[in-house]
Amino acid sequence: MLTNGMTEVLKIEYPIIQAPMAGGITTSTLVAEVSKSGGLGMIGAGYMTPNQIREQIREIKKLTSSPFGINLFVPNEFTYTESEIKSANQLLQPIYEQLNLQLNDSLDIPNSIHVFETFNEQIKVVIEEQVPVCSFTFGIPSKETIAELKRNTIILIGTATTVDEAVEVEKSGMDIVVVQGSEAGGHRGNFISQSQESLVGLMSLIPQVVDHVSIPVIAAGGIMDGRGLMASLCLGAKGVQMGTAFLTCIESGAHKVYKEAIMNAKEDQIVLTRAFSGKWARGIKNKFITEMEKHEDLLPDFPVQNTLTQPIRKASSSQNNADYISLWSGQSPRLAKNQTVKNLLDTIITEAKKINNYI
Amino acid sequence: MLTNGMTEVLKIEYPIIQAPMAGGITTSTLVAEVSKSGGLGMIGAGYMTPNQIREQIREIKKLTSSPFGINLFVPNEFTYTESEIKSANQLLQPIYEQLNLQLNDSLDIPNSIHVFETFNEQIKVVIEEQVPVCSFTFGIPSKETIAELKRNTIILIGTATTVDEAVEVEKSGMDIVVVQGSEAGGHRGNFISQSQESLVGLMSLIPQVVDHVSIPVIAAGGIMDGRGLMASLCLGAKGVQMGTAFLTCIESGAHKVYKEAIMNAKEDQIVLTRAFSGKWARGIKNKFITEMEKHEDLLPDFPVQNTLTQPIRKASSSQNNADYISLWSGQSPRLAKNQTVKNLLDTIITEAKKINNYI
């Protein structure tokens, strides 16, 4: 039951992928430990430069010979006006003051061309360094990119939030599709459906997707233990991708106050916001989300707003202040524990086997 | 596995409850067929008069000697102003015209006192007619009401959308708690948490609730088949409550165009709205929802808005027009079928046993 088409394709022992959380959480130790313990560790490389990516891949390869993976953000066209930036900065001004920060007029606002170039360079590094698995969020790369990766025998994973998106992922030639339920923490991965209407719970999403694609389906969102793993398999998934469960692990690079915030949160304190990055994402409601709530629709798109709020998140973090950090979390914070990766994985497998014997 | 504390308490064969959908869907035939086929049929009596309730209970008892249940809406205080009614009616005016309806100034707007009185009369009928099971939505009845029902050995079921609400249901002395995931169709049952923040997917909600209460937990939301049943049991639930799956059954009283709308819908066309009743509910996005979308926050509370839109829903229904009916549905419409209740239940159990052997 715990080995199937998905574990075979990925050459791993357990059908468990560590979600590729961006922003410094997926340390080399975290990724390597997951892979060494029988799962698939993943680098959250969305915000990383090609050089940082190359360095981390090499570091992980020194720590383990087991397969691991990397996730990249598929770039989308975006535009912004000077007046949008100005009014967004006006909203952020009081928070800058509160954190004793100077509003930085020389912030390097990204532009579409540059973002597409960086993506192509990231892909180049993934191929050169022969990363066994590459997953994508926010869309599907070009046919050429997919063909190039496949020629280099890299296993490809797409992300979908609806049946239609999963069908597109399969059509593009990817090997596996991760379905992101509404329970999931962090950014919504929708790329066809509207973000607010693609918030489908896994109990509904998994079976409907499984009925419409033939590649293995991996469930993501709120899964933290053996119960979630077994439930996903019953619904027709071949495995799970877990973020929050690994985020609070000892090996994760998440800030101490971030880990604590998750372990003290309740499921109904976790909300959707686009205040941090310009893209809808799920996290623990804190002061920043509350203060920006009324203006949510006025903020510039991803990744522009993300760049504007970066100094705030950085300062808040270095002041050990959880008020202005993006506290991304899935909807199961009560199940989060501060433990080693090995302990988490061993407990899941033991529990899954127990459920399997009982039901 | 399929018989447990929940089936014992309810004296049923399979751990499956037919959700008590209000508004004429739960015909006596539907309720009786579910109970005869091994599940628990339920009357959705929220909008029914005490006399209508008494009549239907007697009708069902003629059709089956198996246990069945009834659901009531727990009343909450509400107020409204004449100007709220006036501006809501202004919004509805173009729709009245489109349906060739006259705006009716003598509509019987409910008031709090009357709603509380009706609830007490409904409870009286449930006791007098000895309905085996009574469930509640939108809150917890008074201590006195619960004590009175328990003295009459009626099994009580509460509805919760978060851990805190489930804990309150258990504390109140109820026997079972239904947890309503964000996948669920129809009205949100939240009564402590804010409605938008209590949209927790079942993958997250079930295990977190199971860890905090000791009464049996029943999962509701998007469950349509043996996969959903087995997944719920893996997560720690003792059974499931299914609405949409029964709604499209041959025995259900739902309008033909309503059944067809569900069977043609996709999971990302099902949205949250308070346009129909003043309370947040999940249904298929149609013309009415789209037209009212911008004004959602201005509408009067439940049940006032429900009364104002009743003529519209009625006229739209009698014109076989799905544009202005409330098309409540969970997030799994692709799994809906037009079949007999017996066939639905037999298929679920066969599939559940197959999964149980496989995993």
Confidence of residue B14 (pLDDT cuts 50, 70, 90): very high
CB pairs under 8 A between A and B: 170
- Cα separations in angstroms, B139 against B73, B136, B221: 8, 7, 18
Report the amino acid identity of residue A338: N
User: Which neighbouring-strand residues pair with B41?
Assistant: B68
Cβ separation A203–B335 shorter than 8 A = no
Close Cβ partners of B3 (under 8 Å, ≥ 6 residues apart): B13, B15
Close Cβ partners of B270 (under 8 Å, ≥ 6 residues apart): A197, B185, B282, B283, B284, B285, B329, B330, B331, B333
pLDDT of residue A240: 98
Taking only the tens place, the pLDDT of each residue in B139-193 is 999 999 999 999 999 999 999 999 999 999 999 999 999 999 999 999 999 999 8
- A1 contacts in B (CB within 8 Å)? 358-359
Inform me whether the pLDDT recorded for A215 exceeds 70: yes
Phi first, then psi, for residue B102 (nearest 5°) are: -95, 130
Task: Count CA atoms within 13 Å of residue B307 on its CB side.
Answer: 16
- Kind of pairing between the strands at A186-187 and A281-284: antiparallel
* Distance of residue B223 Cα from the nearest chain A Cα, in angstroms: 7
The DSSP annotation for A60-106 comes to: HHHH--S-EEEEEEPP------HHHHHHHHHHHHHHHHHTT----TT
Inform me whether the pLDDT recorded for B104 exceeds 80: no
> Nearest-5° angle of CA A354, CA A355, CA A356?
90
Which residue do the tokens 């709020």 mark? A309
pLDDT of residue B359: 65
Residues in chain A: 359
Q: What gap in Å lies between CA B61 and CA B58, rounded to an integer?
A: 5
Nearest CB neighbour to B231, from listed A235, A330, A335: A235
Own/partner pairs, A3-9, CB within 8 angstroms, 24+ separation: A4/A216, A4/A238, A4/A239, A5/A216, A5/A238, A6/A176, A6/A216, A6/A218, A6/A238, A6/A239, A7/A238, A7/A239, A9/A155, A9/A175, A9/A176, A9/A216
Tokens of residue A345, six digits = 């994985």
Cβ separation A221–B232 shorter than 8 A = no
* Distance of residue B39 Cα from the nearest chain A Cα, in angstroms: 19
Taking only the tens place, the pLDDT of each residue in A141-166 is 999 999 999 999 999 999 999 999 99
**A44, A9, A55, A299: which is closest to A153 by C-alpha?**
A9
* Distance of residue B155 Cα from the nearest chain A Cα, in angstroms: 26
Task: Determine contact, residues B22/B46, Cβ cutoff 8 Å.
Answer: yes
Cβ separation A231–B231 shorter than 8 A = yes
What's the rounded mean pLDDT across residues B247-273? 98
Reported ipTM: the value is 0.97
Please give the DSSP secondary-structure letter assigned to residue B251: T
Cβ separation A203–B194 shorter than 8 A = no
- Kind of pairing between the strands at B281-284 and B186-187: antiparallel
Close Cβ partners of B271 (under 8 Å, ≥ 6 residues apart): A196, A197, B282, B283, B284, B285, B289
Q: What gap in Å lies between CA B137 and CA B116, rounded to an integer?
A: 14
pLDDT of residue A107: 76
**Cβ neighbourhood burial of A358 (10 Å; 0-12, 13-18, 19+):** exposed
Task: Determine contact, residues B265/B329, Cβ cutoff 8 Å.
Answer: yes
The DSSP annotation for A261-278 comes to: HHHT--GGGEEEE-TTTS
Q: What gap in Å lies between CA B332 and CA B263, rounded to an integer?
A: 10
Please report how the helices B226-234 and A226-234 are oriented relative to each other, as an axis angle in degrees rounded to 10. Answer: 170
- A2 contacts in B (CB within 8 Å)? none
Task: Determine contact, residues B326/B258, Cβ cutoff 8 Å.
Answer: no
Buried b (16+ CB within 10 A) or exposed e, B87-122: ebeebbeebbebbebeeeeeeeebeeeeeeebbeeb
Kindly report which listed range (A2-11, A160-169, A198-207) carries the lowest average pLDDT score. Answer: A2-11
Task: Determine contact, residues A25/A247, Cβ cutoff 8 Å.
Answer: yes
Best residue in A194, A197, A204 to probe B by mutation, most B CBs within 10 Å? Answer: A204
Nearest CB neighbour to B201, from listed A202, A271, A355: A202
Question: Cβ atoms within 10 A of the Cβ of A96, count?
Answer: 17
Phi first, then psi, for residue A277 (nearest 5°) are: -125, -10
Taking only the tens place, the pLDDT of each residue in A295-317 is 988 899 999 999 999 999 999 99
What's the rounded mean pLDDT across residues A49-63? 98
Taking phi over 0 as left and psi of -120 to 50 as alpha, with beta for the rest, B100 belongs to: left
- Cα separations in angstroms, A220 against A138, A166, B199: 15, 13, 17
- A268 contacts in B (CB within 8 Å)? 162, 164, 193-194, 197-198, 200
Q: H/E element holding B176?
A: strand B176-180
Task: Determine contact, residues A39/A67, Cβ cutoff 8 Å.
Answer: no
**A202, A189, A184, A194: which is closest to A283 by C-alpha?**
A184
> Domains of chain A (ranges plus CATH)?
5-83+111-253+332-358 (3.20.20.70)
- A356 contacts in B (CB within 8 Å)? 359
Cβ separation B221–A236 shorter than 8 A = no
**Cβ neighbourhood burial of B357 (10 Å; 0-12, 13-18, 19+):** exposed
- B182 contacts in A (CB within 8 Å)? 182, 199, 201
User: Which neighbouring-strand residues pair with B187?
Assistant: B281
pLDDT of residue B196: 81
Inform me whether the pLDDT recorded for A108 exceeds 80: yes
What's the rounded mean pLDDT across residues B62-76? 97
Q: What gap in Å lies between CA B180 and CA B195, rounded to an integer?
A: 12
- Under DSSP, is residue A282 helix (H, G, I), strand (E, B) or coil? strand
Taking only the tens place, the pLDDT of each residue in B282-321 is 999 999 999 999 998 889 999 999 999 999 999 999 999 9
Q: What gap in Å lies between CA B189 and CA B158, rounded to an integer?
A: 10
- B221 contacts in A (CB within 8 Å)? 201, 203-204
pLDDT of residue B158: 98
pLDDT of residue A197: 84
Nearest CA in chain A to B332: A204
